[in-house]
Structure 1
């Protein structure tokens, strides 16, 4: 047996930049300047802090984003709509995440954490559209990936509704120290749902 078969996650590249088309665009978040100011400010917003619990000092966010960029597990992104920043997104390889082992993941499975920055842009259907566009963009960017997953808090009803409307399907619950999460899966095809 080859080492690739023993440790498939080590042979899988880091998360890709999703392939999005106008009016959507995605770019890697930088750990300095305007990107850092934006993410740091958004994370202090009550509607995000209620579920992310990361209203950290600016320096801690610098370390977080820089750390993600130095590794191959999480890709921090800023998603723009019509050229205006809408959301901070972390795309991660499930096999390199704490979610690994909580379901029958495949080596190329991708996961997403999403925070829509401005509270006044929530509750308008933008989240569900973004989630659909993002899942399709990730599947297009990595042909070997057949599922995009998410694990929002089971008490985050607006988020659960948005994921459902975007084509993510329930696949059970996962218990983490700080939350019980709904495991949601956006499969490439029906056969790609976890069994």
Structure 2
């Protein structure tokens, strides 16, 4: 039986939101308060999911592309096991050329289908800006390290993705000094402090955040679920980071730190939402990023186990000046080919929380 999700919101990071409503096997795509497209989703025996326009629709390609992309996202997100979503060749005829040119669909003989492993590498529904993706490669030196010149740091919204099992969107935005009070409260939470060791006065946290905002290789971010701030994230270019000397770093490797400041967002349903969403955001931000790395404490067994379930491989153990760490790594190919944006159909295999990844 086909699974229902109503409504499914897409494209919020871009400022051009689209909603997909479902009634049985019928999908209605709504933008600017009006129904733009009507489609039918069927489950055909032996042939998987099949999507077609309701007759006699023949959509204009310029108007329909965002709508059908939203429908593709909704179907693949609510059916993570689907390896293909078949498209009716007749009703998608006017869109086929655009869809295949963008990698949103592929031809298989006479058939036309969406391959989710390609769909989820397209940035438009999720990223607010394409600046980093298009930024030219130019080698520069900073701090005695040779690395590509980095693009301007983002401001405002960065990424948003609707999570079916929460019925809300996970989003990331660039942190500002207006977030100091929130960060100050979170850093002084005993659970967070046990991992980060950054408890202290507000002035300390203001200086800490200001330093990261000014650092060209670090991007501090606030994560929200349903618009409510729940956690603080730091993403960085590994080539310029203190981690670089400890492994064979590549030019576009990315790393990350996280603290979950609000205790009610520390459960498994939330981890399975924000963790793959953050990895998705990093891979989308620059197609040259092939690896995402992390360096949790080497003795945090449960944390490492949960990272492994999320696709990270443990590479080795090494000594930072401040801790004994495990180097973990997630490959782009594994993330997309194994459809890890929706681990285990949306929920992790273990009820334990991931915990904190300290800086």
Task: Using structure 2 for the length normalisation, give the TM-score.
Answer: 0.48
After superposing on structure 2, the runs of 4+ consecutive aligned residues of structure 1 that deviate more than 3 Å are 5-8, 12-20
**d(CA) in 1 for partners of 2:173, 2:304:** 25
Name the counterpart of 2:166: none
Query: Are positions 1:4 and 2:139 aligned together?
Result: yes
* Superposition pairs of residues 60-139 of structure 1, within 5 angstroms: 60-139=204-283
Structure 1 CA distance, aligned partners of 2:273 and 2:312?
12
1:114 shift after superposition:
0.6
CA change 1:66–1:136 in 2 (3 A) is: same
Deviation at 1:181, TM superposition (A): 1.1
Counterpart among 11, 28, 35 of residue 174 in structure 2: 28
Specify whether residues 159 and 129 from structure 1 end up closer, same or farther in structure 2 by C-alpha distance, changes over 3 A only: farther
- Residues 1:51 and 2:183 are matched in the alignment: no
Is the 8 Å Cα contact of residues 150 and 217 (structure 2) preserved in structure 1?
no
* Aligned twin of 1:174: 318
Aligned to 1:21, the other structure's residue is in SS state: strand
For the residue of structure 1 that corresponds to 2:293, the secondary structure is: strand
Paired residue total: 186
Q: Which residue of structure 1 lines up, in the alignment, with residue 285 of structure 2?
A: 141
Q: What is the distance in 2 between the residues matched to 1:79 and 1:5? A: 31
CA distance in structure 2 between the aligned counterparts of 1:173 and 1:12, rounded to whole angstroms = 29
CA RMSD of aligned residues (A): 2.2
- Other-structure match for 1:193: none
TM-score scaled by structure 1? 0.85
Higher relative contact order, structure no. (Cα contacts within 8 Å, ≥ 6 residues apart): 1
Cα distance in 1 for residues equivalent to 2:298 and 2:267:
18
Bigger fraction of residues in helix:
1
Query: Of the two, which has the highest radius of gyration?
Result: 2
**Displacement after TM superposition at 1:69 (Å):** 1.2
* Alpha-carbon distance between aligned partners in 1 of 2:153 and 2:234, rounded to the nearest angstrom: 9
Corresponding residue SS for 1:143: coil
- Separation (CA, whole Å) in 2 of partners of 1:92 and 1:73: 6
In structure 1, runs of 5+ residues without a counterpart are 191-195
1:13 aligned residue (125, 147, 151):
151
Larger CA deviation: 6-15 vs 128-137 = 6-15
Residue 161 and residue 119 in structure 1: after superposition, are their counterparts in 2 closer, same or farther (change >3 A)?
A: farther
Instruction: Give the secondary structure class of the aligned counterpart of 1:155.
Output: coil
